[in-house]
């Protein structure tokens, strides 16, 4: 049995689809091709999962803070580790606090903190000009109870990416105060570049990486264009159908906005194609060499 949708239900479904598409487009990882003013950066050399840690002595035990992160994507779940001991899906920076005691058999995970999550990233990016060049990146996460008063507190990560054209070191765990994680990293990725000098700043065999970054940017722009075009098309038909129904009491095919125009579209396209073909088709000349028979 065919299911007939009322115009109101159809409009509601279209609005729901529009909202879902917008939410899907917003949940994207941090873009590793940031631009700050005229300066461009390529951080793809830093992609991949990284781990760093620090140990705090809290006699009779010690506390190890372990940060797992991927600057360009969400970190992956680890096999064999309980879900409660891992950050939820969509996390890019995760802080795990492990309590250790020499005479105890097993280490104990006491906190798992999603420092930066894709759904709440809200990147804040600025350039650093002194004392050395670099990039300042702040990403945000959800709330987590503060260690001193258990008040839910918004989490964030601040990365100081210093320009070092000759060397890429390991990320350094600077501090964590229960709210903000501070990381410092020296790398050639922290050096800005212009399009014609990208290869020089990358160093080594960096000639293929800029092309990849450009292709990703172009592909992302085309995808956004078609997404906006699709949403506008859906909104046009949805609002038009609702208007025809509420104003004129239209039913069936009469719900289509500007129905006469859409009915003529195939014929207009056919006329345009015919005109183009006749314009590019070479003209035939007589085989008499230009002489006219008398």
Tens-digit pLDDT profile for residues 276-289: 888 776 655 554 45
Separation of first and last alpha carbons in the chain = 77
| Cα–Cα distance, 25 to 55 (Å, whole number) | 39
* Residue ending a domain, choose from 197, 215, 247: 197
**Whether residues 65 and 187 fall in one domain:** yes
For residues 177 and 217, membership in a common domain is answered with no
Task: Give the Cα separation of 51 and 172 in Å (integer).
Answer: 10
- The long-range contacts involving 163-172, CB below 8 angstroms and separated by at least 24 positions, are 163/132, 163/133, 163/134, 163/187, 163/188, 163/190, 163/191, 163/192, 164/188, 164/190, 164/191, 165/191, 165/201, 165/203, 166/203, 168/45, 168/46, 170/52, 171/50, 171/52, 172/52
Is there a single domain that holds both residue 127 and residue 270? no
- Say what the pLDDT of residue 207 is: 44
Nearest to 41 by CA among 31, 51, 26: 31
Give the pLDDT of residue 203: 45
Mean pLDDT (whole number) for 78-84:
92
For residue 25 the two structure tokens come to 């487009």
What pLDDT is recorded for position 202? 45
**Among residues 197, 229, 261, which one ends one of the domains?**
197
Residues 16 and 57 in one domain: no
Answer yes or no: do 78 and 179 share one domain. Answer: yes
Task: List phi, psi (to 5°) of 249.
Answer: 65, 35
**Is 287 within the bounds of a domain?**
no
Q: Is residue 224 part of a domain?
A: yes
Q: Which residue range is the domain that position 193 belongs to?
A: 39-197
Q: What is the CA radius of gyration of the chain?
A: 30
pLDDT tens digits along 11-45:
555 565 555 554 544 568 889 999 998 889 999 99
CATH number at residue 143: 2.70.130.10
Taking each helix axis as running N to C, give the angle between helix 7-26 and helix 208-248, from 0 to 180 degrees, rounded to the nearest 10.
160
- In whole numbers, what is the pLDDT of the chain averaged over residues? 81
Is 147 found in the same domain as 189? yes
Tokens of 144: 């987590």
Q: Which of 49-53, 127-131, 247-251 has the lowest mean pLDDT?
A: 247-251
Q: Would you state the pLDDT for residue 103?
A: 77
Is 102 found in the same domain as 238?
Answer: no
189/219 same-domain check: no
Q: Answer whether residue 290 is part of any domain.
A: no
Per-residue pLDDT tens over the stretch 148-158: 888 999 999 99
Quote the number of domains for the chain. 2
- Positions of E strands within the chain: 35-36, 39-40, 50-58, 61-69, 91-100, 108-117, 124-128, 134-145, 152-163, 172-176, 180-187
Out of 178, 197, 216, a domain closes at 197
Tell me if residue 17 falls in helix, strand or coil: helix
For the stretch 172-223, pLDDT in tens is 999 999 999 999 999 999 998 865 545 444 444 444 444 444 455 556 678 8
Q: What is the pTM of this model?
A: 0.60
Indicate whether 289 belongs to any domain.
no
DSSP class of residue 139? Answer: E
Give the torsion sign (CA, 261, 263, 269, 272).
negative
Do residue 63 and residue 186 come from a single domain?
yes
CA nearest neighbour of 61 among 112, 113, 98, 111:
98
**Res 233: pLDDT:** 82
- DSSP H or E stretch at residue 291: none
- 74 and 183 together in one domain: yes
């Amino acid at each position: 049995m065919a299911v007939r949708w009322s115009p109101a239900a159809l409009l509601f479904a279209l609005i729901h689809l529009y909202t879902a598409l917008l939410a899907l487009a917003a949940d994207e990882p941090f873009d590793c091709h940031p631009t700050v003013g005229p300066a461009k950066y390529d951080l793809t050399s830093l992609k991949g999962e990284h781990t760093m840690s620090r140990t705090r002595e809290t006699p009779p035990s010690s506390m190890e803070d372990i940060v797992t992160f991927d600057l360009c994507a969400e970190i992956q779940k680890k096999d064999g580790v309980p879900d409660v001991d891992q950050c939820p899906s969509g996390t890019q920076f995760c802080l795990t606090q492990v309590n250790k005691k020499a005479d105890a058999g097993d280490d104990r995970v006491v906190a798992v903190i999603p420092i930066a999550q894709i759904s709440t990233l809200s990147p804040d990016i600025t350039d650093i000009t002194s004392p050395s060049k670099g990039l300042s990146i702040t990403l945000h996460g959800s709330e987590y109870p503060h260690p001193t008063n258990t008040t839910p507190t918004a989490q964030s990560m601040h990365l100081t990416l210093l320009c070092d054209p000759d060397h890429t070191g390991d990320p350094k765990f600077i501090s964590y105060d229960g709210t903000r994680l501070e990381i410092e990293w020296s790398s050639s990725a922290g050096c800005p570049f212009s399009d014609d000098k990208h290869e020089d700043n990358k160093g080594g065999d960096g000639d293929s990486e800029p092309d990849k970054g450009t292709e990703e940017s172009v592909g992302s722009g085309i995808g956004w264009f078609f997404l906006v075009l699709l949403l506008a098309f859906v909104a046009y038909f949805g609002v038009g159908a609702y208007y025809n129904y509420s104003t004129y009491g239209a039913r069936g095919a009469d719900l289509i906005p500007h129905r006469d125009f859409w009915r003529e579209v195939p014929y207009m396209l056919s006329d345009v194609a015919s005109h183009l073909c006749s314009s590019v088709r070479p003209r035939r000349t007589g085989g008499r060499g230009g002489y006219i028979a008398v």
